[in-house]
């Protein structure tokens, strides 16, 4: 993909280019992926489990790039562990992030797609 077209895609998806480390982007939708993927290898070579902390993305971020996610007062820093097809949501959260780390104590174990997630690359 040509650089200008890629920049336009990133601006549409997140409000800013993905390579602007430290700058907050979003808000965006973030989905999650779970049971059908447990036990499989990620694109970055890890075994996907219910407890793994990581994100899948179609953004041009290398495996291992740390991304900080913020949602309703909750924050988590997670590495890029997988790739996904390009669609409107730039991130699929691992089940552990979506079901545990971004929930308050009353919602532990509840998983859903979230709107209003902001994110940034952490160096």
What's the mean pLDDT in 14-30? 72
CATH 2.40.40.10 fits 3-122, yes or no: yes
| Averaged pLDDT score across all residues of the chain | 83
Residue 94: closest CA among 38, 43, 44: 38
Residue 75's pLDDT band, with cuts at 50, 70 and 90, is: very high
* Beta-strand relationship, 91-94 and 25-33: parallel
Given this model, what pLDDT does residue 34 score? 85
CA dist., res. 42 & res. 22, Å (int): 26
Domain boundaries, the chain: 3-122
CA dist., res. 111 & res. 25, Å (int): 23
What's the mean pLDDT in 23-32? 93
What's the mean pLDDT in 5-12? 33
């Amino acid at each position: 993909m040509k650089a200008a077209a890629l920049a336009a895609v990133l601006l549409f998806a997140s409000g800013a280019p993905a390579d602007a480390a430290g700058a907050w982007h979003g808000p965006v939708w973030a989905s999650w992926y779970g049971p059908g993927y447990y036990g499989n290898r990620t694109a970055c070579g890890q075994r996907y489990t219910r407890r793994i902390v990581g994100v899948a993305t179609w953004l041009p971020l290398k495996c291992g790039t740390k991304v900080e996610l913020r949602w309703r007062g909750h924050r988590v820093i997670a590495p890029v562990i997988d790739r996904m097809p390009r669609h409107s949501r730039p991130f699929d959260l691992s089940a552990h992030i979506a079901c545990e780390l971004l929930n308050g104590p009353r919602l532990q174990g509840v998983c859903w797609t979230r709107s209003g997630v902001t994110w940034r690359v952490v160096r």
